[in-house]
Structure 1
Amino acid sequence: MYWLKWDLNLKIRLIGDSLFNMLFWMYFPFMTLYFSGIFGKSVASMLMAVPPLISIFASLLGGFLSDRFGRRPPMLAGYLIQSLMFGIFAMSTNHWVDYAAYIGIGLGGSIFSPASSAMVADVTAEKDRRLVFATFVTGRNIGAVFGPALGSIFFIHHRTELLWACTVVTLLYFFMILWKIRETMPPRPRKEGKRGTISLLMKEQFTNYGVIFKDRAFAIYIAAGILVTIAFMQLDMYLATYVKEYVPAQPLLSIGDWTYTLSGTDVFGWMLGINGLLFVVGVLPVTKLFEHTSDRNVFIISSVLFGVGMFLIGLTTHVWLLFLFIIIMTIGEISRSPVTESFVSKYAPANARGQYMGASNLQYSLGRFLAPMTVLLSSWLGPVQVFGIILLCTLLSAVLYIVLFRIIPQDAPDTNAKLNA
């Protein structure tokens, strides 16, 4: 019950974020299906490629605003935008308005996210950040596990009511942040003689991110993150294809004359269930297990475990071995999650923490964008070769993490000085 000692900001945010993520996963997995039924699969696939691209720029904007005006303004703006978009979606009778509202919901979330992560770091001692971020990851993944099951009922049969529930929850969370959440941004020096015009703010944003992206160590961190995100995304991409095409129906349990048999699709569903369950029950124990392990070693262990676990899956079709290997790769995945935000919060200057959080999100956006290449490659390559490419991505990310932590000591102070200037 250590969370009872948390700052009030964190307690409110944990409850609010967990509740919102439950609602998020009740509608998000069904959006592609929804738009495919309206516009057709080919048009829907192009439409669904737009939100991740918009999220890149929205995340960078949210990070800049959180360092320029404080953590609360972009958090409030993000949830107000989401509340309005959910309301529009609920009232809409036009499918293009539905799509615009869906983009708006993602836009609000991307503006909110960097400021939210920066605020967690602001009010948490460095030694406690891994555990705090791990608790937030657990809250988010409770929604990821149970949300789709509830969404299969509510989104399909009571979509309007679900969207109104999302509208109310986000609006209540907006008012809770407005009334109860205090500002946590560290003091920053005032720049005399400069007016806060839109053009000046845009110039300042590009200048600040220019410094960040010229940071050699942080660029390596982003590159490593892109490679490992490509591998992580295969759980929903090539792994699904492999299991459905190559894993035959087989008995899971046999007792006497009774046999419980799983089809290939059932096996994949069980693998997803194991992955989701381990995320809920395993993040905090795994974080405690690696509590005294350096960020460098956690990143390396995570990449190697996930890559090896994924590659071993490509060598078998036996259901129990598949379950064992999904456990190995999931341990690699969950060991990394809390450390990622904790590392960025330590590496970034306090007055540029939001921008670094926003820039860090690029690894996920670009990784998700590149991840489908494995499905394309599977048209020419066999499973072992495709899983070998996935393993190579994780091993290259591990090498980049080794390089990263060799150069951080000499690079970090220079970067901080530039951003504080």
Structure 2
Amino acid sequence: MFRDYLQLPLPVRILCLGSLINRAGSFVLVFLAIYASEQLGFGVPFATACIGVLGLGSMAGSLLGGHLADKVGRRGVMLLALFGGAAILLLLSTVTHRWWFMLSVGVFALVADLYRPAAAAMIGDLVSIDRRPHAFALMYISINLGFAIAPPIGGLLAGYSFEWLFWIDAASMIAYGLIIALTIEETHPRRVSVEAEPSPSPRASWIVSVRTIGLDLPFLSFCISTLLIALVFVQGLSTLPIYIRQLGYSNLQFGLLMSVNGLLIVVLQLPLTHWLSRFNAMTIVLIGGVLISIGFGLTATGSGLVFVAVCIAIWTLGEILQAPFNQTIVTDMAPDELRGSYLGLFTMCYASALTIGAPVGGAVLYRFGPTALWTGTFVVAMIAVAVYGLIYASVTRRVARVG
């Protein structure tokens, strides 16, 4: 099994290692709300508004990054995101005026998230169709391992000085940027071709991208389903922690419950992806959506510690199924010359969910209670599953033609 991952192209393995290093140093994202509300004294409402601005910047960065990855190349966009993001982080550590701070947070998210669609497009360039689930699974587990490492280390650093969070976070981005600059070549098909025709103007290129994607109804429907699932999934990061505390569990019990997700991803992501890669990707994504719907929906029916852990395990299994195969399907559906743009719009669905889902879920929990919230997540996720079912045949045929 592990041979399939070790045999991935060296640049892909380097990208995964670099993502692990970068995410392990992503302290600012983890502690942003605490830093803004307590260290700078801006208060909780303003700090949570900064999280919303972070999501808006991420949405813009995802779209722009995908377009630029097609226009100027994957490698250059990733370097801009990493080196530019590091510079903005260092600047952000010195900002104490609230509105300048909020603006800087948005600019940082925009620049840093140029990276995501460009990296995904590079993986699509480098990896054959049948190996793409393995590549995206390895990237996904690398990111999750990094995020598991960041909070405890960040907590220790914050005990000395919050400035350390910004400096080391920036250093991790610079380190990853240097790894890419020194070891990875451009992979964009048109950029590496010696006989490539002159590129169209930026405006013409943008119009072509918008027209092509706007007429691609199966892809847009897939993105709608992705957004709906993401709106549900983001509750696991926003309202579920609040709900667990409302049930009266201790900090230790809360930590144990929230560790179920990361532990299962680390243990199951690679072997399950290896085994499932022989099956229809749309089938796997659809089953994953059902599991996410059931896992969140069941949360409304019980409150025991083990029961909540089982619910988390169910929707985590759905996440494990969907994560690599979602990106594989989008990569396969995209024309080679617009791969970055397709992945940019797909990535924006998750950024949009963070911006919309967290405040909406919080409002539902506050005004209507947990039963309404978790029942609502079940309904929304099942609507997404229904859309998957409607486009199942057309997407399957299209991916099969690519293969």
Q: Which runs of 5+ in 2 are unaligned?
A: none
Name the SS for the 2:150 alignment partner: helix
CA distance in 2, matches of 1:233, 1:81: 27
Structure 1 stretch displaced more, 281-290 or 177-186 = 281-290
| Equivalent of 2:182 in 179, 183, 192 | 179
The equivalent residue for 1:10 is: 12
| 1:15-164 correspondence to structure 2 within 5 Å | 15-24=17-26, 26-37=27-38, 38-90=41-93, 98-164=101-167
Aligned CA distance change for structure 1 residues 170 and 242 (closer, same or farther; 3 Å): closer
1:282 and 2:268 matched? yes
Measure, in 1, the Cα distance between the counterparts of 2:370 and 2:97.
Answer: 43
1:401 has 2:400 as partner: no
Matched, 1:269 2:272: no
Q: CA RMSD in A?
A: 2.5
Query: Percent sequence identity over matched residues?
Result: 23
Residue 387 in 1 paired to residue 374 in 2? yes
Aligned twin of 2:237: 236
**CA radius of gyration, larger in:** 1
Structure-2 separation of matches of 1:10 and 1:323? 34
- Residue matched to 2:315: 329
CA distance in 2, matches of 1:239, 1:173: 33
Distance in 1 between residues matched to 2:235 and 2:393, nearest whole Å: 30
- What is the match of residue 252 of structure 1? none
CA positional deviation for 1:98: 4.8
Q: Distance in 1 between matches of 2:295 and 2:61?
A: 34
Contact 1:309 1:329 in 2 (8 A): yes
Range with bigger deviation, 164-173 or 11-20: 164-173
Which stretch shows the higher mean deviation, 30-39 or 204-213? 204-213
Cα separation, 1, equivalents of 2:366 and 2:16? 43
1:314 counterpart SS class: helix
Range with bigger deviation, 334-343 or 209-218:
209-218
TM-score, normalised with respect to structure 2? 0.90
TM-score, normalization by structure 1: 0.86
Q: How far off is 1:413 after superposition?
A: 11
- Structure 1, residues 194-225: CA drift from partner, whole Å, max 9, x if none? 7x6xxx41342144123213311111111101
Deviations 1:154-204 (A, max 9, x none): 134233233222333322322332232111111378566x7x6xxx41342
Taking the TM superposition and a 5 Å limit, the aligned residue runs for 1:190-205 are 200-205=201-206
> Are the equivalent residues in 2 in contact too, given 1:215–1:411 (CA < 8 A)?
no
CA deviation vs aligned residue, 1:353-412 (integer Å, no higher than 9, x gap) = 111010111211222233132322234434333211110111111111111223336778
- Distance in 2 separating the partners of 1:102 and 1:406: 42
Deviation at 1:318, TM superposition (A): 1.5
- Give the structure 2 partner of residue 308 of structure 1: 294
* Contact kept? 2:61, 2:110, Cα under 8 Å: yes
1:27–1:148 Cα contact (<8 Å) kept: no
Q: 1:156 to 1:357 in 2, by over 3 A?
A: farther
**1:31 corresponds to which letter in structure 2?**
L
1:375 aligned residue:
362
1:256 match: none
Structure 2 contact 294–315 (Cα < 8 Å) conserved:
yes
Write the mapping of 1:341-380 to structure 2, written as runs, cut at 5 A. Answer: 341-371=327-357, 372-380=359-367
Q: What residue ranges of structure 1 are gaps of 5+ in the alignment?
A: 249-262, 417-421
* Cα contact 1:243–1:267 (8 A) shared by 2: no
The offset of 1:264, in angstroms, is 5.0
Q: Is the 8 A contact 1:310 1:326 kept in 2?
A: yes
The offset of 1:338, in angstroms, is: 0.8
SS in 1 for 2:301: coil
Which letter maps to 1:147? A
Contact kept in structure 2, 1:63 and 1:358, CA below 8 Å:
yes
Match of 1:6, SS state, is: coil
Superposition deviation, residue 101 in structure 1: 4.2
Does the C-alpha gap of structure 1 residues 79 and 186 become closer, same or farther in structure 2, counting only changes over 3 Å? same
Q: Which of the two has greater helix per residue? A: 2
Distance 2:51 2:371 in 1: 30
Aligned mates of 1:413, 1:322 — CA distance in 2: 39
Give the total of aligned pairs: 394
Question: CA–CA distance in 1 between the matches of 2:166 and 2:274?
Answer: 37
C-alpha separation between the residues in 1 aligned to 2:37 and 2:228?
Answer: 29
Q: Is the 8 A contact 2:58 2:109 kept in 1?
A: yes
Residue 94 (structure 1) shift:
5.6
Give the Cα separation in 1 of the matches to 2:45 and 2:260.
Answer: 32
Query: Structure 1 stretches (4+) deviating beyond 4 angstroms?
Result: 90-101, 188-192, 409-414
Tell me if the contact between 2:25 and 2:146 (Cα under 8 Å) persists in the aligned partners: yes
